[in-house]
Amino acid sequence: MTSVNKAEIQAIIERTLNQILEAKGRARVALTEDMLLLDEEALPIDSLDLAQIVLDLQSLTGRDPFEAGFIEFRTAGELASLFSS
Amino acid sequence: MRDLANALTIQGTATVISTGEQTHTGTSVLEQSAAFDRAITRPDGSRILSLDPSPATILALLVLAESRTCQLILGRPSIDLAALGKMLQPDVIVHRTGRIERRGDSSSGESGIFLLTSGTTGTPKVVHQTLPALLGRVQTSSLEKNRGARWLLTYETHSFAGLQVVLSAALSGGVLVAPEARNPAALAHAARNQGVTHISGTPTFSRALLMTIKDEGLPSLRQITLGGEAVDQATLNRVSQAFPHARVSHIYASTEAGALFAVHDGRAGFPSAWLGHALPGGVMLRIRDEVLEVRSPRCMLAYASGQRAPLTEDGWLVTGDLVRVEGNRVLFSGRQDQIVNIAGLKVSPEEVEAFLLAQPTVDEAQVYAVPSPLTGSLLAARIVVHPGLDPQETLQELQTVCARGLSRHKVPRRFEIVDRIAMSTSGKKAYTS
């Protein structure tokens, strides 16, 4: 997969995120760009769940923006940018 | 001690090795051995190297090692001779076919069998064994009962496990069935065509065998022995079910420690009552920091290649196998060097693999670690789905079963459905990421 736009990346994040929430018996959410990903008060997911989202992105896009080391991201929009740039 | 030569003499013109296309008799193996003896003129011991020898070649070399002072160095063809160092440079190379090549004329007064253990990178480790130590277990097990048995060679001939099978077959007056191709399909075909009664192989091999033979079974099979990897209960159950007339055993052995014990009760692991006192053959077992440690008269003390042996201060060999006690049973949890750190918690991929193998929809599973920028690692799984099932439905069910039955950090986060899982040349699951 070569060119993946940010909207497609966000769709992947939203899908995995909602699968995780459903499995936990929590309500689905609509993804927004400024949604904080590791703020457990705002979003009931932990680092394992977020790792799952990143792994899905890596698998589905064939890209690994973290190959050279960790890059900080806080929001869904920042994560999507890492995979679409 | 000429046990091997005597057994082959008794066999005479009877077949002792069958590759399917070729057969070797007791007499022809003895003749081959005599030819080696004539070609190696040094009287005081030569260093003989044979990489990936054929079963007939190795048997002839073992007969030779029984009758004269020599060092036999055995290993895989990929071994880097230069890396062996001066100590083990061979005088004579015996090729797979039995062809002899002279190299040097160094002196070595000592007898022994040197097994080059794998190691995909770096210097191979060299384990010094002796023929009596290799024969030890074979002789104490009931050879008389196995008379006339037909053994399938699933292991590499030059490996510790392969040598045990070759020696067992030869000493009990049996036939070694050793097809040229060592893939599960060829081995299953040979087992059926040649009426194999004894199979010794890894649990991974046994699952591949079950997938290959499907429901047809192997009516001639009387004994199947699993070794080389920890065996899980689901695999033991499946093997027992597929071969209702065979005894199913699993053995615990390593190149470094020799053969330690065999379990015949059809259950994974071994009785916890075996811990802490001497077992037959002088073997002792104990658990330290969740790792199995062993003592045996056949344990090696150091690698001949110079690496330090994993010995404790009080002389126990650290196996690197993680164990836990559940009730009256000691169960294997995986290899210490395979442990993965996931979000700060230690996880054994093999334990998760056993969980997946326990699902009736799964014929084979491989669990491995993938790096994660957030949690260090995550587990991923490759699955061979039982034939006739819908792969996608099975996958969804499996994900649900994992989420329910495993703690969160142990749940594989990526699944891949595959037709088969790669096996290394030693018959074990090739661990890759």
Chain B environment of A61 (Cβ under 8 Å): none
CATH code that applies to domain B3-133: 3.40.50.980
Per-residue pLDDT at B86 = 72
- Cα→Cα distances B193→A70, B150, B190, B196, B210, Å: 57, 11, 5, 8, 16
Report CA B95 to chain centroid distance, whole Å. 23
Interface A:B, Cβ pairs < 8 A:
35
pLDDT (0 to 100) of residue B267: 97
Which of the two residues, B104 and B158, has the higher pLDDT score? B158
pLDDT at A2 exceeding the cut of 60: no
Find the mean pLDDT for residues B308-329. Answer: 92
Q: What is the CB neighbour count within 10 angstroms for residue B299?
A: 20
How far is it, in rounded angstroms, from Cα B90 to Cα B50?
9
CA distance A60 to chain B (A): 11
Residue B387 has pLDDT above 90, yes or no: yes
Q: What superfamily would CATH give domain B339-417? A: ANL, C-terminal domain (3.30.300.30)
Is pLDDT above 90 for B383? yes
Q: What percent of chain B has pLDDT over 90?
A: 63
User: Tell me: the pLDDT tens digits for A32-63?
Assistant: 999 999 887 888 999 999 999 999 999 999 99
**Strands B46-51 vs B92-94: parallel, antiparallel or unpaired:** parallel
Task: Kindly give, in sequence order, each residue whose CB lies less than 8 Å from that of residue B122, ignoring residues fewer than 6 positions away.
Answer: none
- Please give the average per-residue pLDDT across B124-145, as a whole number: 73
Query: Which residues on chain A are in Cβ contact (under 8 Å) with B409?
Result: 48
φ, ψ (nearest 5 deg) of residue B113: -115, 125
| Per-residue pLDDT, A1 | 46
* pLDDT score for B432: 57
Handedness of CA B61, B62, B63, B68 (dihedral sign): positive
pLDDT score, position B309:
79
Instruction: Give residue B281's pLDDT.
Output: 83
**Which chain B residue is nearest to residue A68, measuring alpha carbons?**
B373
| Chain A CB contacts of B370 below 8 Å | 55
Q: Domain boundaries in chain B?
A: 3-133, 181-335, 339-417
| Residue A1 is assigned to a structural domain of this protein | no
Does the beta-carbon distance from A48 to B342 stay under 8 Å? Answer: yes
More confident residue, A69 or B145: A69
Q: Return the CATH number at A79.
A: 1.10.1200
Q: Which of B370, B373, B408 sits opposite A70 (nearest CB)?
A: B373
Query: Under DSSP, is residue B352 helix (H, G, I), strand (E, B) or coil?
Result: helix
Q: Give the per-residue pLDDT at B107.
A: 61
Flag whether pLDDT at B104 surpasses 80. no
- Exposed/middle/buried for B254, CB within 10 Å: 0-12, 13-18, 19+? buried
The CA–CA distances, whole Å, from B326 to B271, B329, B332, B347 equal 10, 5, 10, 18
| Candidate from A23, A47, A56 with C-beta closest to B375 | A47
Taken as a whole, chain B contains a residue count of: 433
Residue pair B379/B410 in contact by the 8 Å Cβ criterion = yes
DSSP per-residue letters across B153-217: E-S-TTSHHHHHHHHHHHHTT-EEE--S--SHHHHHHHHHHTT--EEEE-HHHHHHHHHHHTTS-
Q: Residue B230: pLDDT band by 50, 70, 90 thresholds?
A: very high
Contacts for B103 with CB less than 8 Å, ≥ 6 apart = B89, B90, B91, B92, B93
ipTM for the predicted complex: 0.90
Closest C-alpha among B354, B355, B399, B348 to residue B369: B348
Q: Which two tokens mark B218?
A: 């192997």
Q: Do domains B3-133 and B181-335 have the same CATH topology?
A: yes
Q: What is the pLDDT of residue B118?
A: 62
Instruction: Compute the Cα dihedral for B82, B88, B92, B94 and give only its sign.
Output: negative
Which amino acid appears at position B310 of this protein? P
Residues of B in contact with A23 (CB under 8 A): 403
Q: For residue range B37-84, list pLDDT tens digits in order.
A: 888 766 667 889 998 899 999 999 999 998 888 889 998 887 777 777
Residue A19 lies in a domain: yes
CA nearest to B373 within chain A: A70
Average pLDDT for B320-345: 95
Q: Could you tell me the residue range of the domain that residue A53 belongs to?
A: 6-84
Report chain B's mean pLDDT, rounded to a whole number.
Answer: 89
Assess whether pLDDT exceeds 50 at residue B120.
no
Q: pLDDT tens digit string along B182-211?
A: 899 999 999 999 999 999 999 999 999 999
The residues of B whose Cβ lies within 8 A of any Cβ of A are 342-343, 370, 372-375, 378, 380, 403, 408-409, 413-414
φ, ψ at B125 (rounded to 5°): -90, 140
Reading phi first (left if > 0) and then psi (alpha if -120 to 50, else beta), residue B45 is in left
Report the alpha-carbon distance of residue B199 to residue B153 in Å, rounded.
7
**Residue B196 and residue B176: Cα distance in Å, rounded?**
9
Topology of domain B181-335, CATH: Rossmann fold (3.40.50)
Tell me how far apart the alpha carbons of residues B430 and B228 are, in angstroms, rounded to a whole number.
13
The structural domain count of chain A equals 1
> Would the pLDDT of B343 be above 60?
yes
Distance from C-alpha of B167 to C-alpha of B340, rounded to nearest angstrom: 38
- Judged by average pLDDT, the poorest of B6-15, B53-62, B301-310 is B301-310
Q: How far is the C-alpha of A80 from the C-alpha of A12, rounded, in Å?
A: 9
For residue A41, is it within any domain? yes
